[in-house]
Amino acid sequence: MTVRLIESLATTEPLADVFSDQSILGAMLDFEVALARVQARLDVIPRDAAEVIGKAAAGFDAPELAREALRAGTPAIPFVKALTERVRSADPKAARFVHWGATSQDVVDTAFVLLLKRALPLLEADHVRLDSALGNLAEQYKDTLMLGRTLLQPAPPITFGLKAAGWKAAARRGWARVESRFTEALLLQFGGASGTLASLGDKGIAVGQALADELRLPYPDAPWHAHRDRLAALMAACGVETGSLGKMARDISLLMQGEVGEVAEPSSTGRGGSSAMPHKHNPIACSLTLAAAHRVPGLVAAFLSSMVQEHERGVSGWQAEWPTIAAVVQSTGLAIASMAEAAEGLTIDPARMRANIDATRGVIFAERVVMLLGANLGRDVAHKLLEEAARRSVAENRRLVEILEEIPEITRVIPLDVLRRLDTPEDHLGVAEEFRKRL
């Protein structure tokens, strides 16, 4: 499958294949063939009719079906018509039993559920890669010091292992939601005209259960034509997961800035360069993930707004869903795959991380001094002293501890030997390692 150029930055090739025209038509055909097969077994339709329907070839004219779907309001109507004509050309009597007892939305929803079932293991494989790579980073760099950053400004130090563990934990929580919502949403849709299967008499549930078994899908308590909550929960879970990956991508892209230079995405020929500036090493995986994180929330909102559907069959809600669901799942998959690639090949520069800590001249440890002084001077007085000392450190380009040694109110409380070690970052990590392990 070749990805369409317009979607080249919004999907992976395997996911593009899952949601391709031929894949969709194949899933719709799977539904119709399975329906005929189980109905024949239950003596609802003649067995020879089911055999003819089962032999109906693929190769439908997708562009023509798309044009007719626009007039019909659903792709199921022209699809069933085309399938019926194929069967009729082989056996006119068998053509009477195509789509027997089903309705358009049964075909559309079940076909899309089958596509989602194919998409799930693709997403899962990339999540496993991401989880493993982040676990390796968290362990390998558990003692690597770097600046904490709050509101994009230098803060007391952390470890890169802690940061990577935070990414890993968020991605894992997000994936647990996504996986559970996939499981919840992968259900057969089969209800007939009004969701009662009245046309099948007392065999409705038997046919439905057999059809679910044939397609290897769970059989719900009842059809869900106008109840889209399970799919909505899946879309929301994808939105949260993509947002978490977007946070990771934002962090990495900021750490890749030239003036920061603490990490770098993997590079290769044709990846990360610039058409104008040969020196550049751009954060491509981060860019793709951030684009997905920007795109998905609006799509999730669009799906949520389509949930308000009328009575037993909505006027427009489910017609809005196909492109929305496909775009959300593909964007989520691209974000997972992109971050897996970034994490697997991420280059870490511990020396640059330490240099960026040292470049603060120790002002990031002002909080520590405030805590030491607070019990004697009061926190408000200590905070004011350190605020002025930090301002002088920056203005005079001197280490904070050198300024502090000149302030009598401070040296009367803190011995000089203690004061001179206050900007040692290894002594100011708190319980970072415990948190890393817990994550």
Catalytic residue among 88, 118, 313, 420, which?
A: 313
Structure tokens at 291: 């684009």
Q: Which residues are registered as beta bridge partners of 271?
A: 268
Return d(Cα 123, Cα 426) in angstroms, integer.
Answer: 39
Question: 301-310 long-range contacts, Cβ below 8 Å, gap at least 24?
Answer: 303/228, 303/231, 303/232, 303/235, 303/328, 304/232, 304/235, 304/236, 306/228, 307/228, 307/229, 307/232, 309/226, 309/228, 310/226
DSSP H helices, 143-269, are: 160-185, 204-215, 229-255
DSSP readout, 217-245? Answer: -PPPSS--TT--HHHHHHHHHHHHHHHHH
Annotated active-site residue 267? The verdict is: no
Q: Which residues are registered as beta bridge partners of 155?
A: 148
For helices 21-41 and 47-54, what crossing angle results, to 10°? Answer: 170
Give the other-Cβ count within 10 Å of 297's Cβ: 16
Structure tokens at 278: 């040969």
Q: Which residues are registered as beta bridge partners of 148?
A: 155
The maximal CA–CA distance of the chain, rounded, in angstroms, is 103
Check if the beta carbon of residue 197 is closer than 8 Å to that of residue 206.
Answer: no
Q: Would residue 38 be called left, alpha or beta, if left means φ above 0 and alpha means ψ between -120 and 50 degrees?
A: alpha
Return d(Cα 16, Cα 22) in angstroms, integer.
Answer: 11
Annotated active-site residue 86? The verdict is: no
Catalytic residue among 89, 274, 305, 316, which?
A: 274
Give the catalytic positions in this structure.
Answer: 274, 313
